[in-house]
Structure 1
Amino acid sequence: MPQSLNTAIMVIGGAEDKLHGREILREFFWRSGGSDARIAIIPSASREPVVIGNRYQTIFTDMGAQEAKVLNIDDRAQGDLPELQEYVSECSGVFLTGGDQLRLCGLLSDTPVMDIVRSRSQSGEIALAGTSAGAAVMGYHMIAGGGSGESPNHSLVDMTLGLGIIPDILVDQHFHNRNRMARLMSAIVAHPTLLGIGIDEDTCAMFEGDGILQVLGKGAVTIIDPGEMTYTNQAEVEKTDPLSMGNLRLHVLSAGCRFDLRQRSMLIRKSRKSAFWERG
């Protein structure tokens, strides 16, 4: 494995560009080691894992990766296989594809393979990316499904446990493309210690070890911060009644923007040429 990877955890909103500039996928390729990259592709979320796995394998091979291997885990018992544990222990990047986040968690949660991936990504040993369903599973708490087009309410969102890779966030993907603002609000009001992260399609929230989130891609990353919320009626209303929330903080970040996760504040540059970032 390359010894000096500039690794990151890349949370992708889905429908990332796979044909033209491939900005997000190329960033993952470089952070996995570029021509030295050995990438594990895990298509377990998909109902067509061979098709989707082979597609990403071709993309990363064409970019010049040393190896791109599809780990088609379609049974929980495979998560115990020594050869798969060995590969994720030695690879330089892991890519979780889209599909169904419940299926992905059902197959991978609490398996030795996922324990290795989680540990290595959290310690900065590997680059980890997840798109769509692969993004939804990043937090300890996960949005399993729900609706859109309504005011925030308890019935709008179904919650379960994710893979806990970035425990303090709650992710919603295909965000503005599928009108999911109210869904993320409905989820975050019940988990006020977490940051809600809504990621548009062909957009990536990239988490680095310095506690800074950077945005890549063509859309926006919406951050909902309930840390200073002064009021909510969530404990008092029925499941379909509208939720009230006071002093919920909202940040919208486009490509090139940064966010300090520890201070929960946006970072800006006075000019494009400036090398210094300051709180905005």
Structure 2
Amino acid sequence: MKTEPHHTASHGHLVIIGGHEDRKHGKEILARFVELAGGENARIVVITAASQIAEEMWDQYDQAFGDLGVRQRFHLPLASRQDANDEAKVRMVAEADGIFMTGGDQKRLLAIIGGTALDAEMHTALKVRGACIGGTSAGASAMSGHMLAQGKTDLLPEKGAVSLAAGLGFLHRVVIDQHFSERQRLSRLLSVVAQNPYLQGIGIDEDTALVVERGRGIEVLGEGSVTVVDGRTMDTNMADIQERDTPELIDVRLHLLPAGSRFYLPTDDEPLTKPMSPSLRDFLENVTKRNPIS
């Protein structure tokens, strides 16, 4: 099957994975991460700070990236904020072409690296050097400025059912949820958007990735879909109901982007090739925005 050529200019890429990506067979998502990082000659660093079984997690990705031909692959274990401010460990990130954050607990990940020298160096890697940053499960949720810290997954959205925390801030004005369809998390994402209507919700299925090229566009890889929930024009009674009540949500917009979806902003060299709604284009402009180093 003929495929369109990938955009691989060094604008910096994010590979945001919904968890349980294939690490043993075709490895489509991990292979794309390696490609965007520079291929087999890339230096790839794996951060396992979100997990309490760091060595076991590293063994899985060491094997997977090795199978993909990557020779320069390194484990960056971080057990404390002192580790994340250690000059030698920060230098590993400064020299990396690809930086990958594993799953685990996103609150643990942010408690260790949030606001450290290593955090700042990751921003420099993405925004100045055009490196590729990947994250799966907890590593995916941590990528946005507002991070989903915890929340219920009942059938209906509820006031007060979810809580947010500060994330790493590679994306802004969005919140990311993972294992999305498999764990029936639409109600959770609706709860986030209802409580925080200035945020757009992104739900990513397992073995599925949203790839963001800064300043250019997005693509969806893998076996599932990416769901975008946009409540910025909605009407809701959220402010007037009691905790744990279900709100009215009128005129919420939802985009479903299955694997194979690709949307790129027009340029002088590449005009818009297919129709795009104003709402989707606004989402695209937001997630690809080249935010300054923070």
TM-score by length of 2: 0.85
C-alpha distance in structure 2 between counterparts of 1:93 and 1:64, whole Å:
14
- Counterpart selection for 1:258 from 253, 259, 262: 262
- Counterpart selection for 2:144 from 124, 128, 139: 139
C-alpha distance in structure 1 between counterparts of 2:88 and 2:116, whole Å:
14
Structure 1 residues 35 and 80: alpha-carbon distance in aligned structure 2, compared to 1, 3 A threshold: same
- Counterpart selection for 1:205 from 210, 219, 227: 210
8 Å CA contact retained: 2:23, 2:60: no
1:22 aligns with 2:27: yes
Q: Which amino acid aligns with 1:144?
A: A
Which residues of structure 1 form unaligned runs of 5+?
263-274
8 Å CA contact retained: 2:13, 2:130: no
Structure 1 residues 93 and 260: alpha-carbon distance in aligned structure 2, compared to 1, 3 A threshold: same
Q: 5 Å matches for 1:179-258?
A: 179-229=184-234, 231-258=235-262
1:86 aligns with 2:79: no
C-alpha distance in structure 2 between counterparts of 1:116 and 1:5, whole Å:
17
8 Å CA contact retained: 1:8, 1:208: yes
1:174 aligns with 2:179: yes
Deviation at 1:62, TM superposition (A): 2.4
Task: Determine what percentage of the aligned residue pairs are the same residue.
Answer: 35
1:44 aligns with 2:41: no
1:126 aligns with 2:122: no
Deviation at 1:190, TM superposition (A): 2.1
Structure 1 residues 161 and 169: alpha-carbon distance in aligned structure 2, compared to 1, 3 A threshold: same
Alignment correspondent of 1:272? none
Q: Which amino acid aligns with 1:39?
A: I
Q: 5 Å matches for 1:58-97?
A: 58-97=63-102
1:101 aligns with 2:106: yes
Deviation at 1:54, TM superposition (A): 2.2
Deviates more, 1:151-160 or 1:47-56: 151-160
TM-score by length of 1: 0.89
1:279 aligns with 2:262: no
> What SS class does the counterpart of residue 176 from structure 1 fall into?
coil
Deviation at 1:168, TM superposition (A): 2.2
Structure 1 residues 225 and 90: alpha-carbon distance in aligned structure 2, compared to 1, 3 A threshold: same
C-alpha distance in structure 1 between counterparts of 2:51 and 2:144, whole Å:
19
8 Å CA contact retained: 1:93, 1:126: yes
Deviates more, 1:220-229 or 1:59-68: 59-68
8 Å CA contact retained: 1:5, 1:32: no
8 Å CA contact retained: 1:151, 1:243: no
> What SS class does the counterpart of residue 189 from structure 1 fall into?
helix
> What SS class does the counterpart of residue 235 from structure 1 fall into?
helix
Structure 1 residues 261 and 167: alpha-carbon distance in aligned structure 2, compared to 1, 3 A threshold: farther
Alignment correspondent of 1:269? none
Deviation at 1:211, TM superposition (A): 4.2
Deviation at 1:119, TM superposition (A): 2.9
Q: Which amino acid aligns with 1:107?
A: I
Structure 1 residues 261 and 104: alpha-carbon distance in aligned structure 2, compared to 1, 3 A threshold: farther
Q: Which amino acid aligns with 1:238?
A: Q
8 Å CA contact retained: 2:81, 2:116: yes
C-alpha distance in structure 2 between counterparts of 1:129 and 1:50, whole Å:
19
Deviation at 1:163, TM superposition (A): 1.2
Residue correspondences, number: 265
C-alpha distance in structure 2 between counterparts of 1:108 and 1:278, whole Å:
41
8 Å CA contact retained: 2:149, 2:164: yes
C-alpha distance in structure 1 between counterparts of 2:155 and 2:251, whole Å:
20
8 Å CA contact retained: 1:98, 1:133: yes
